[in-house]
Structure 1
Amino acid sequence: MVDQMVDNKVKPGNITTIRQVYDEQMTHIRAKMGALTKIQYLMRLLEEDKYTHWSRSDEGSTVIRSLFWSHPVSIQLFNQFRTVVLIDSTYKTNKYMIPLLEIVGMTSIGYTYTIVFG
């Protein structure tokens, strides 16, 4: 696609669709995942990128019931700016119809940052 761009303008003969771009991205991700499931791949990425994370599953089961994760920089920001914390949970609004918890903090100059997802 780079060779189809000239001075940040698309060449008239370019017929690449957004679907082709998404398909190529998924092909790349599937190649990186190998035989891992999506959740196994996510857990591997959390480990590699040194996220603080915690998961819970039912006893005797391999199904994850809860998963929390936080970026290392988010933890540093929280340790510096812990005065304002907003907690929001949505219920049954995502693809899997499960709750999503997000905890957000605010710096002294009004910027927001995500502390944790769950």
Structure 2
Amino acid sequence: MRLTPAEEMTVEQLTHQNIKPRDILAAIKEKNPHNVSTRNTIYKAWAKLGRMEQVGKTPMQMLFDRLETVGYVFYHRTSENGERVEDVFFIHPDSKMLWRAFPHVLLLDSTYKTNQYKMLLV
């Protein structure tokens, strides 16, 4: 059930085009009818791609890279010595456009669970 290097490249290319796993699997099976891969194989390939992208980066660097890649507008504030990120604010470009059109209304969706440091995400 392993993917060949060519099939892994296909998964990577289709993933960057935001193709769904079932469609990626269908494309792979269309090229090679003898392939016995499942959707789980595609998910494992995604995980492998994610690990390869993260090499040498901190989680915060990964977050900022991802926000920039996807096109979100984001701001962050660090501690006085610059060693620690204090706050991160990000907003989808469409939401920012709506906010500028209707500045008198602002809705924040927050989760009421905490992370491992018992800090709220608002």
Question: For the superposition of Structure 1 and Structure 2, which TM-score range results when normalised by the shorter chain?
Answer: 0.5 to 0.7
Stretches of 4+ aligned residues off by more than 4 angstroms: none
Mapping for residues 17-28 of structure 1, pairs under 5 Å: 18=40, 20-28=41-49
Match of 1:113 in 2: none
Q: 1:61 to 1:90 in 2, by over 3 A?
A: same
Unpaired segments of 5 or more residues in structure 2? 1-24
Higher helix proportion (structure 1 or 2)? 2
Normalising by structure 2, what TM-score? 0.55
In structure 2, what is the equivalent of residue 62 of structure 1? 83
TM-score (norm 1): 0.57
Q: Which has the higher contact order (CA 8 A, sep 6+)?
A: 1
Separation (CA, whole Å) in 1 of partners of 2:38 and 2:108: 41
* Mapped partners of 1:98, 1:91: distance in 2: 10
CA distance in 2, matches of 1:17, 1:49: 25
The answer to whether the Cα contact below 8 Å between 1:90 and 1:99 also exists between their aligned partners in 2 is: yes
How many residues are aligned here?
Answer: 94
Q: Hey, what does 2:13 align to over in structure 1?
A: none
Show structure 1 runs of 5+ residues with no match. 6-12, 102-118
Give the root-mean-square deviation of aligned CA atoms. 3.0
Higher strand share: 1
Q: 5 Å matches for 1:1-118?
A: 1-2=25-26, 3-4=28-29, 16=38, 18=40, 20-94=41-115, 97-101=118-122
